[in-house]
Amino acid sequence: MSDLDSAIGFTIASRHARGRVVRLGPVLDAILADHGYPPVIEKILAEAILLAALFGTTLKQTEGQLTLQAQTESGVIDLMVADYRNGELRGYLRHDPERLAEAPADPSLFALFGKGYLAITFDQATSGERYQGIVPLEGGSLGEAAESYFSQSEQIPSLVRLAVTRTADGRHVAAGLLIQHLPEGEEGRERIHTRLDHPEWEHVHALASTVKSDELLDPELPFDVLLWRLFNEEEEVRVTSLSHFTRGCRCDLDHIRGVIARFPEVDRTEMVGDDGLIRVDCAFCAKSFGIDPLMI
């Protein structure tokens, strides 16, 4: 069970490929427990949190942040956000329960989101640089939409596999695989060109595509054994040490007080509720903070 709430990185140098495997358990339970979403909604948010973990662990700067946001015009879900920073994961979404009740039992991506887009933002902590790519929210799954993002916005051929399940005792387990081709050792925007039909990428893609959901989700199957099953034909697969995840929400009472203090006194007076407090809700952790206006 040691591989739950953790990720491992790997490279196949001879094929100019790099990847990540992520497996989430208790951290995902803690995030989802705050909201009481229906199962279909839980699943899509779990996939978004998985993507944030997969992409976030590729950041070179540990204090950097990866934010994934899906926004729509006409779907059951009108907003979904998941992010990663320094090992911390969080996520939430807004949905219309009435429209969800009218949707099929196993709704497609389009049925959930309608016409929308997927935005992925990389914030580098040290340099302050921000990179964002936006693609239409299309395809059969959130994983396919993420593949389109890397192909169109980053020019990086990528394969994404996501799996989510719920155990008999009600616990959530989610796992994902990300593998990317970096021709000639280039990375991201440094590349000059890329080829989706490069023979090295076709080879790695074919091997990685054999991964089964049961293998990804099995917490008793160590990451290194899973990678050996997929790539044992290769001369060398280098793996990094495990990185671990925690549930993280950055709502802070002192920070909230500071934000409210910036408003004119007349505005703060209008914020006070019937209980004599200014109420501030955090969408991520579903907590409600009551601020005494006399303490600001």
For residue 252, what are its two tokens? 């802070």
The domain segmentation of the chain, as residue ranges, is 6-247, 253-295
pLDDT band at 289 (very low <50, low <70, confident <90, very high): confident
Q: Give the integer Cα–Cα distance in Å for 31 and 248.
A: 9
The whole-number pLDDT of residue 159 equals 95
What are the pLDDT digits (tens) for 113-172? 988 899 999 887 677 778 888 888 888 899 999 998 888 877 788 999 999 999 988 899
**Prediction pTM value:** 0.86
Whole-number Cα distances in Å, 295 to 254, 256, 268, 291, 292:
11, 12, 12, 8, 5
Q: What is the gyration radius of the CA atoms in the chain, in angstroms?
A: 21
The CA-based angle 106-140-174, given to 5 degrees, is 70
| Assigned superfamily of 6-247 | Hsp33 domain (3.55.30.10)
